[in-house]
Amino acid sequence: MTTAIQRPTRPPFYRDVTVLKWVFQIVFLIGIVTVFWLLGSFSIANLAKQNLAVSWDFMARPVGFQVAEGFTTLPESGFQALLVGITNMLRVTISGILAATILGVIIGVSRLSHNWLVNKLATVYIETIRNIPLLVQIVFWGIVVSIIPDIVVDETSDGSLKSLFGLRLLPEGWIFASPKGFAMPWLVPTDGRWQWVGFMIVGAVAALYAYRWRIRLQEAGTAEARAFLWSGGVLVAFAIVGTFAHPVMGIFGPVFGFVAAFFQNTPIIIFQIVLAGLAVGGAYYIIKKRLDELRTPAGLGKLTDDDWFRLAMAAVVASGLALFFLLQSGPVKAIVGQGTIFGQEIGLSQLFTGLESRFSFVSGAPFDFSLPAIDGRFNNYAADAGHVITRAYFALWIGVVLYTAAFIGEAVRAGVLAVPKGQTEAGFAVGLRRSQLLRMIVLPQAFRIILPPVGNQYLNLAKNTSLGIAVAYPDIVQVGQTIFNQTGQTIPIVISWMAWYSFVSLTLSAIVNRWNKKLKLVER
């Protein structure tokens, strides 16, 4: 019916909703930038008054302090000291997450138990642990360890630890305890371990295929799956065989060597172009995807100002990155290993050189079983003898594990209770036992509900490891704090902290989100 296309009349700009909206946003942005600019100039001025300028030099320079524990206790540079802090943080985080998950599930299931005693015990546990600040608990465990007397299991006469009903439990010299921590036997990794780990990676892939194969067989109706049993068996077989056969992995040595040489010898401009190309390509992909979503058979749909903003942002960020890569060869050099980061050569080339030397048909066992070698001051005098759990590590670890387990337990309980009652009744009706019901019907369904809060708890655990500073556990916060006490370089340290923790948070939430999506897919 209509003839000429008419557009709505444009109002005067000062009354146009869209214009006003953007004016407001720009003023807001200017305001924020101004505040940051002011704060920045204040701090530079104040630093200047103390004859300090913001500088990252300490990262390359030797530091004058010892770190209490870690892959090295005498870091060569500020950068290495921070790396020690990072690995220490990861050590507690990863082992803590494992232990807290196991304990948390036990607590959560106990909370649902019909057994009054078990149920009450779990409740008391949760209500106690949850309501006391974690820091207090860590401090508490630190004190507890510091007041235990020196115990060398076996030589004491009271026999409280070494035996039960006259039965000797542990051989002589296996476990030591003291105010400084605990020592115990350990599988100490030796030179062959890298090849063995390589072997195990192959094994893991094989196990995955075994799993899929069994599932396929079951779906085809030829055999019962027992998929976990099979894939576990494959893993164990690889682990055992790998103990002897791992030198085979030495064939990868030359491959790594080739890759290292490639990164070392290719002209840097090529990497610059590749990285810039990746940035531009990524932006192109994002913009194209977005436009495709808006595209119609009749042509492009109407773009809102929000759409325009997103597209522009993607373009601006990508071109900024591309320009950065093209103009600054330094960072690119550092990444591929032709240059240095903070005075360290830790690029891709060095990584592969290291791998090459570790995959060089080294023979011998990947691990040595060794007993702790403790002298009178409770120093483990041989670095590769046994394993020492220091007081600080223990206090932090047990603190975060017990604390997080309480929250995980609550999440598990809530998740299980959220599974409809009809599911339980149907399970009983087909004759499952309680434990079977829990394992086969309830937990798989509850898992979907449990995962997001538990993922959140993992994140909290990772962040809470920073409380180790109260018992002088040298994680990145403690090491960083020591560095800025020495150098006064607050701002770089703060930036390092933020970068590291943001990285951890983003990684962990990416993993949890991915998992979550996968579960959602299964659900459909």
Give the interface segment with another protein, choosing from 22-30, 202-210, 232-240, 269-277 (CB under 8 A). 22-30
Give the interface segment with another protein, choosing from 93-101, 248-256, 281-289, 460-468 (CB under 8 A). 460-468
**CB contact set of 22 (below 8 Å; sequence gap of 6+):** 305
Q: Does 501 bind another protein (CB under 8 A)?
A: yes
Question: Binding to another protein (CB under 8 A): which residues in 65-124?
Answer: 114-118, 121
SS3 172: coil
Question: Binding to another protein (CB under 8 A): which residues in 223-252?
Answer: none
Distances from the Cα of 321 to the Cαs of 40, 276, 293, 311, 324, in angstroms?
Answer: 24, 7, 25, 16, 5
Whether 322 and 276 have beta carbons less than 8 Å apart is answered as yes
Question: Binding to another protein (CB under 8 A): which residues in 263-302?
Answer: 293-296, 298, 301-302
Residue 432 backbone phi and psi in degrees, to 5: -75, 150
State which of residues 241, 269, 498, 510 lies at the interface with another protein (CB under 8 A). Answer: 498
Cα 430 to chain center, whole Å? 42
Helix (H) or strand (E) holding 321: helix 305-327
Smallest distance from the beta carbon of 305 to another protein, in angstroms?
A: 8
Six-digit token string for 158: 């009271």
Smallest distance from the beta carbon of 53 to another protein, in angstroms?
A: 13
Helix (H) or strand (E) holding 183: strand 181-184
Closer to another protein by Cβ: residue 44 or 206: 44
**CB contact set of 175 (below 8 Å; sequence gap of 6+):** 151, 153, 161, 182, 183, 184
What angle in degrees, to the nearest 10, is found between the helix axes of 78-111 and 476-487? 150
Closer to another protein by Cβ: residue 14 or 383: 14
Q: Does 26 bind another protein (CB under 8 A)?
A: yes
**CB contact set of 57 (below 8 Å; sequence gap of 6+):** none
Q: Does 134 bind another protein (CB under 8 A)?
A: yes
Smallest distance from the beta carbon of 87 to another protein, in angstroms?
A: 17
Whether 188 and 388 have beta carbons less than 8 Å apart is answered as no
State which of residues 243, 344, 424, 481 lies at the interface with another protein (CB under 8 A). Answer: 481
State which of residues 324, 497, 516, 519 lies at the interface with another protein (CB under 8 A). Answer: 497
Q: Does 49 bind another protein (CB under 8 A)?
A: yes
Smallest distance from the beta carbon of 480 to another protein, in angstroms?
A: 8
- Cα–Cα nearest to 359, from 243, 252, 239, 246: 252
State which of residues 88, 93, 137, 487 lies at the interface with another protein (CB under 8 A). Answer: 137
Degrees, nearest 5: CA angle 454-505-497 = 135
For the four alpha carbons of 73, 77, 81 and 87, in that order, the dihedral sign comes to negative
Q: Does 449 bind another protein (CB under 8 A)?
A: no
Smallest distance from the beta carbon of 306 to another protein, in angstroms?
A: 6
Closer to another protein by Cβ: residue 4 or 220: 4
State which of residues 364, 502, 510, 520 lies at the interface with another protein (CB under 8 A). Answer: 502
Closer to another protein by Cβ: residue 12 or 267: 12
Q: Does 135 bind another protein (CB under 8 A)?
A: yes
Give the interface segment with another protein, choosing from 5-13, 189-197, 202-210, 269-277 (CB under 8 A). 5-13
Q: Does 132 bind another protein (CB under 8 A)?
A: yes
d(CA 386, CA 181): 13
d(CA 505, CA 290): 27
Q: Does 430 bind another protein (CB under 8 A)?
A: no
Q: Does 486 bind another protein (CB under 8 A)?
A: no
Residue 226 backbone phi and psi in degrees, to 5: 45, 45
Q: Does 421 bind another protein (CB under 8 A)?
A: no
Q: Does 220 bind another protein (CB under 8 A)?
A: no
SS3 295: strand
State which of residues 255, 327, 494, 510 lies at the interface with another protein (CB under 8 A). Answer: 494
Strand 151-152 relative to strand 367-370: parallel, antiparallel, unpaired?
A: unpaired
DSSP letter at 441 equals I
State which of residues 46, 328, 436, 486 lies at the interface with another protein (CB under 8 A). Answer: 46
State which of residues 65, 213, 230, 484 lies at the interface with another protein (CB under 8 A). Answer: 484
Q: Does 428 bind another protein (CB under 8 A)?
A: no
Closer to another protein by Cβ: residue 196 or 397: 397
SS3 229: helix
Q: Does 377 bind another protein (CB under 8 A)?
A: no
State which of residues 412, 470, 479, 483 lies at the interface with another protein (CB under 8 A). Answer: 470
Smallest distance from the beta carbon of 322 to another protein, in angstroms?
A: 21
Closer to another protein by Cβ: residue 134 or 332: 134
What's at 214, amino acid-wise? R
Q: Does 158 bind another protein (CB under 8 A)?
A: no
Whether 504 and 462 have beta carbons less than 8 Å apart is answered as yes
